[in-house]
Amino acid sequence: MNLTEISIAAITLESSDPVAAEAFYAKAFGLGDRIRVRASDAPTSGFRAYTLSLVVSQPSTVDSLLGSALDAGATVVKPAKKNLWGYGGVVQAPDGSLWKVATSAKKDSGPATREVDDIVLLIGAEDVAASKQFYVEHGLTVARSFGRKYVEFAAPPKGIKLALYGRSALAKDAGVPADGTGSHRLAITSDAAFTDPDGFTWEAASN
């Protein structure tokens, strides 16, 4: 199957308490069925080798989404602040997943909203070049690439984007230690079915 003809329909997060996780995501981010939850008690510890990023238009939207996540039960990993690339922060959901909310803007251009421009799954690859080659061979198109450091693949409008970052670099960006073992507790829902070099599972969407 040529992956240029498909897109990531949803991210499925696995939780030992899926009912609570669904309630958290509805209150925190309101992303609808693009973020799904299912039950799992698969062993996992430490960094799960991915983060999920919400890219928004301005700092006040960052603050709004992070605020609702904290109200819903998330914990602060990196407080929101200005940085070289804009403004953003990181929280950890009760199910253990790490969420970064960020904007390239450093000033507001209008009233605060809760609109999310992009959802990005960043995988912390053991070998960025090898993982990049795997996805290219499966038909993904590279949108941006910075050597062996970072790769972003093309996605259709409103599609969930896939990007690759080195495992240690991604953990540092998220503000957590890079060590971790066990299940990622995440699956990628699309029209494809395979497992990538870093152990992430792509599952075919049910019709």
The length of the chain, given as a count of residues: 207
Q: How far apart are the first and last CA of the chain?
A: 17
DSSP state, residue 5: G
CB 67 within 8 A of CB 114: no
pLDDT class of 4 with cuts at 50, 70, 90 = very low
Give yes or no for a contact between 97 and 114, defined as CB atoms under 8 angstroms apart. Answer: no
Give residue-wise pLDDT tens across range 154-169: 998 888 999 999 999 9
- pLDDT tens digits, one per residue of 131-150: 999 999 888 899 999 988 99
Alpha helices in the chain (DSSP H): 18-28, 59-72, 128-137, 167-174
Q: At what angle do helices 18-28 and 59-72 cross, to 10 degrees?
A: 150
Structure tokens at 30: 């309101």
Q: How far apart are CA 106 and CA 70, in angstroms?
A: 22
Distance CA 198, CA 179 (A): 15
The model's pLDDT over 45-95, given as tens digits with 9 standing for 90+, comes to 999 999 999 999 999 999 999 999 999 999 999 999 999 899 999 999 999
The answer on pLDDT for 3 being more than 70 is: no
Examine the pLDDT at 121 and tell me if it is beyond 60.
yes
